Structure 1
């Protein structure tokens, strides 16, 4: 008898059909990868399993009994625990990591009435030890980066004694070492008979962990693969067409130098480096998490400052004191965590597709302060057509879109006005193969703009860039004659 047996599940939202008869079986102690392009129905299926949404029809059985949780708490009580891709709600900013790890214990009464700081630390340390992670228990949750927030979420989920652990893009923000530790944790769960439903766009994750891979497309399961998984066939099943992942042709002719860095130093005591990027060129900087990629981009955007050296933009000294000065100079940036940096909160004014695109351009588009929806709607409609954004209308909530479509909207924001330098920090994080191809095409289409991309995935760097550089210890390695990157540690 399987642990989970999902049969012919359907779910619609108005005229939009999210699931059109999906079926999935998960055995005890099995790791099943759920693959599919953004909008294929993965998130809806996970929400139904997690008690966030109800199915319109179909059946779900767990241990042979009907299973239809109405809330996440009910799902957890049945042994189904989910770690979502976005970790914004994992902890409360002013609480410590130890408190964040025990939030579920506080809510469901597992902790004694009288607590001491020592007992909280001891229990939190036990949770981390079981998960195999090392986190600073006394640090405030708000001070953690995306990688450590993800580790808190996973560790807390493991403490809930799940029979089925659902992991949604768990390595998207993790370093090679952290991803390797996560692999060992997941394989340890499998050895203990715990089942894992693993959602990831990273083939390295799936190759390392999955016993089987099931592909969703159009709300239905269209293919299944057993280990060793044929990823070419799986990806073609995901997108419904042959995969063209060839590296782009290098530009035959590039324009003048747009960005020049001379003896730049990211931190005092680190090695200095030079860099030139020309008009129309797409340059990717890769390296492990913490190598300094994000620091370089944030210094160019004015949220940090170089410790030494000089930067030039179009031959003129460039040292923005803040993002406003960077924007005025024609430098724009899409930061790593789009949920925190690029999107308005849910249910706030400005959380539609059109408003998300227009937000930084309002002073130019409406210089007299009178706002009309015509310009916003026009730009959003052009972006939807150009980038293949799957949306019902330009006034749809950005939060109703899949991760890949959200990222397309963020890119469309900076394509709505001309710019000289586009900075993209991990632009393919949580983005499926099909959406990634659309984003790459859009990045490479504008030859009047220079693009600098930070990515931890060397394969993604090769796929998008004319030139790939490697950053290590907050400094760029010297360039080689070949434009292929120097060998990196294998990155999941």
Structure 2
């Protein structure tokens, strides 16, 4: 008997049919991966299993009994624990990592009102040991990088003794080493009989873990692939069209550099490095978490500083004191976490596609201070057409869009104006293969500027870049050819 059996689940939002008679079973001790383009129905299915949404039709059996949680706490109590991609609600600024790990116990009053700091530390360390993670329990949760916040969320879920663990893009912010540690933990849980529903766009994750891959398209499971998975076939099934036969050929950029760093040091005492990017060139920097990739991009964008060294833009000295100065000079950046760095919160002014695109250009577009909505909409409509953004129109909220379409809007912001250098920090987080292909095409089609990308995924780096550089201990060490090296999906074979 399956641990979980979803039968003909359907769910609509107005005229949009998110799920259409979706049917899927998961056995105890099985890892089933969900693969689907943004908007295929993955999130809606997870929300139903998590008690966030109720289906319009269909049913779910868990351990042979009807399962219909009305709130997430009911799902957790039944043995279904979900770790979401966003970790904003895992902890609260000001609380320690240990507090965040024990937060559920305090909320449901399993712990006394007064509890010693020593006990919190001891209990939290035990939870981390069980999960196989090494994190500082006394550190402020808000100060943790995205990767460590994800590990806290997973550790907290594991100690709830779940029988079904649902993971939504768990490795999106993890280094290769951390991903391997997570793989080992999940495979151990599988051996102990836990079922895992794993949602990921990364074929490396699925190749390492999945017993089966269920492909969603249009709100239903259209095909299931057993291990070993033919990922080219699975991706073609997911996007509904053949893959391009090859990635773009690597280009050799000539001419004077658009951007240069000479004798750069990111930290006092780190090894110096030089970097040069030419017009039309896409360069990716890869390396483990903490190698210095994001620090480098922040320094170039004026949000940080080099410890030593000089930067030049179009041959002239370049030393921005702020992102505003960098933007004025023609340098743009899309940060690692688009929800925090690029999008206004839902319900706030500036949350529409048109407003999101225009936000950093307001002083240039409207020097008199009077905003012209017609111009905003025209720029947004051009971005929607050029990047293939799936949206109701330019006045739609960015929060109604899938992750891949949100990232296209962020890219569209910097496509709206000419520029000299585009900085992209982890641009493919939470982006499916189809949307990633569209974004790569857009990045590589711009030959009037240079593009510098930071990514912890070497396969993404190879796919998008003309040159791939490796950063280690805050210095650039080596490089190799990028785009054209391999086909999409080949990394999982």
Once residues 94 and 253 of structure 1 are traced to their aligned partners in structure 2, the CA distance between those partners, rounded to angstroms, is: 48
> Per-residue deviation at 1:485?
12
Contact kept, 8 Å, 2:80 with 2:162, in 1: the verdict is yes
Once residues 437 and 255 of structure 1 are traced to their aligned partners in structure 2, the CA distance between those partners, rounded to angstroms, is: 28
Kindly report which structure 2 residues correspond to 1:248-267, keeping only aligned pairs within 5 A, or say none. 248-251=248-251, 254-267=254-267
Answer yes or no: is 1:48 the counterpart of 2:55: no
CA offsets, 1:319-356, max 9 Å, x none?
11111111111100001111111111122111121111
CA offsets, 1:63-90, max 9 Å, x none?
1111111111111111111111111121
Answer yes or no: is 1:38 the counterpart of 2:57: no
Answer yes or no: is 1:28 the counterpart of 2:28: yes
Answer yes or no: is 1:159 the counterpart of 2:159: yes
CA offsets, 1:402-422, max 9 Å, x none?
111111111001111111100
SS of match in other structure, 1:20: strand
Contact kept, 8 Å, 1:458 with 1:485, in 2: the verdict is no
Once residues 255 and 444 of structure 1 are traced to their aligned partners in structure 2, the CA distance between those partners, rounded to angstroms, is: 18
Contact kept, 8 Å, 1:254 with 1:281, in 2: the verdict is no
Kindly report which structure 2 residues correspond to 1:59-458, keeping only aligned pairs within 5 A, or say none. 59-244=59-244, 246-251=246-251, 254-458=254-458
> Per-residue deviation at 1:198?
0.3
Distance 1:399 1:484, change over 3 A: closer
Counterpart for residue 471 of structure 1: 471
> Per-residue deviation at 1:479?
4.4
Once residues 117 and 282 of structure 1 are traced to their aligned partners in structure 2, the CA distance between those partners, rounded to angstroms, is: 50
Contact kept, 8 Å, 2:462 with 2:482, in 1: the verdict is no
CA offsets, 1:272-296, max 9 Å, x none?
1111110111111111221111111
Distance 1:106 1:382, change over 3 A: same
> Per-residue deviation at 1:365?
2.0
Q: Provide TM-score, normalisation by structure 2.
A: 0.96
Once residues 177 and 433 of structure 2 are traced to their aligned partners in structure 1, the CA distance between those partners, rounded to angstroms, is: 24
Counterpart for residue 459 of structure 2: 459
SS of match in other structure, 1:190: helix
> Per-residue deviation at 1:245?
6.4
Distance 1:312 1:180, change over 3 A: same
CA offsets, 1:388-432, max 9 Å, x none?
111122222211211111111110011111111000011011111
CA offsets, 1:32-88, max 9 Å, x none?
000011111101111111111111111111111111111111111111111111111
SS of match in other structure, 2:162: coil
Once residues 71 and 111 of structure 1 are traced to their aligned partners in structure 2, the CA distance between those partners, rounded to angstroms, is: 22
> Per-residue deviation at 1:105?
0.8
SS of match in other structure, 2:215: strand
Contact kept, 8 Å, 2:9 with 2:21, in 1: the verdict is yes
SS of match in other structure, 1:213: strand
Contact kept, 8 Å, 1:81 with 1:166, in 2: the verdict is yes
Q: Can you give the 5+ residue segments of structure 1 that lack an aligned partner in the other structure?
A: none
> Per-residue deviation at 1:483?
5.9
Distance 1:483 1:229, change over 3 A: closer
User: Once superposed, what is the RMSD of the aligned Cα atoms?
Assistant: 1.7
> Per-residue deviation at 1:371?
2.2
Distance 1:267 1:392, change over 3 A: same
Once residues 373 and 22 of structure 1 are traced to their aligned partners in structure 2, the CA distance between those partners, rounded to angstroms, is: 41
Contact kept, 8 Å, 2:404 with 2:432, in 1: the verdict is yes
Report the number of matched residues: 487
Once residues 65 and 355 of structure 2 are traced to their aligned partners in structure 1, the CA distance between those partners, rounded to angstroms, is: 46
Q: Provide TM-score, normalisation by structure 1.
A: 0.96
Once residues 14 and 147 of structure 1 are traced to their aligned partners in structure 2, the CA distance between those partners, rounded to angstroms, is: 36
